[in-house]
Amino acid sequence: MGEFVRVEVDGQIATIRLDRPKMNALNAQVSGEIAAAAAEVSGDGAIRAVIVYGGERVFAAGADIKEMAPLGVAEMAAYAARLQAALNDVAGIPKPVIAAITGYALGGGLELALCADFRVLGESAKVGQPEIQLGVIPGAGGTQRLPRLIGPAKAKDLIFTGRHVAAAEALAIGLADKVVPDAEVYQAARDMAAQYANGPAVALRAAKQAIDRGLEVDLATGLDIERLHFASLYATEDQKNGMRSFMENGPGKAVFEGR
């Protein structure tokens, strides 16, 4: 357990909890602790779904500008590489991941949220990539993950202006998957995670990897990736149980073991 990032496990759902007062700014220590948390939940087979949460007040208001401002080019290249690597570790968690967003998710905070599979926002949440207002651009995935999620034109609008986006607009443009009252954000994320916690863990991992890798390649290669994952699942107990249950009891009644 890190000083500012901890993993809390409740049943089959883990929460990666950011807790660096006052605004969960992502400094070098926090990024290292995020990477460690991602490794922990990835390696624990009992964990079936993951929530990334900054608490009731704020998700993460951005990177630590005071730490970054005095760095030179070489130092910043190394700094950015470490932050990118940490967020890549979150994106690579082989389980469903939900970002539960209250308050601000700006700059590096939004880039962290973009690494999740889904984003639940409170009604008063604000998200954005304001780096342009500092004379720089997003450096931890914003220029790459954001256009893949909402399309290049909408991503350019957010990145070129640096404006804050309210929850309703985030939902409309596909940046949020659900908007709920602020007090219900974490529970809504848990409810979403619970949909996957009893599912076939190996198949869920394969589906996530096939989708994520397929988005990076041409269609023909993506179809090859899908076919190989699909065929490999016929070596799992969950496939045998799932198809047997379907034939004997109808759809939606299988009990999966995650093997």
Q: pLDDT digits over 145-169, tens only?
A: 999 999 999 999 999 999 999 999 9
Is residue 131 part of the annotated active site? The answer reads yes
Range of the domain at 10: 5-197
The whole-angstrom separation of Cα 181 and Cα 106 is 20
- pTM score, two decimals? 0.94
Q: pLDDT digits over 217-241, tens only?
A: 999 999 999 999 999 999 998 898 8
Active-site residue among 3, 56, 67, 131? 131
Flag whether 257 is in a domain.
no
Active-site residue among 8, 111, 184, 237? 111
Residue 148 has a pLDDT of 96
Instruction: Please check whether residues 119 and 245 belong to one and the same domain.
Output: no
Flag whether 258 is in a domain.
no
Mean pLDDT across the chain: 94
Residue 35 has a pLDDT of 97
Instruction: Please check the confidence at residue 1 and state whether its pLDDT lies above 80.
Output: no
Flag whether 21 is in a domain.
yes
Residue 247 has a pLDDT of 86
Instruction: Please check the confidence at residue 251 and state whether its pLDDT lies above 90.
Output: no
Instruction: Please check whether residues 192 and 222 belong to one and the same domain.
Output: no
As a whole number, mean pLDDT of residues 13-28 equals: 95
Is the separation of the CB atoms in 29 and 3 below 8 Å?
yes
Kindly report the CATH number assigned to the domain that includes residue 227.
1.10.12.10
Is residue 111 part of the annotated active site? The answer reads yes
Instruction: Please check whether residues 223 and 103 belong to one and the same domain.
Output: no
Is the separation of the CB atoms in 26 and 83 below 8 Å?
yes
Residue 53 has a pLDDT of 98
Is the separation of the CB atoms in 119 and 138 below 8 Å?
no
DSSP-derived pairing of the beta strands 5-10 and 178-180: unpaired
Number of domains in the chain: 2
The whole-angstrom separation of Cα 176 and Cα 168 is 9
Give 85's pLDDT tier (boundaries 50, 70, 90): very high
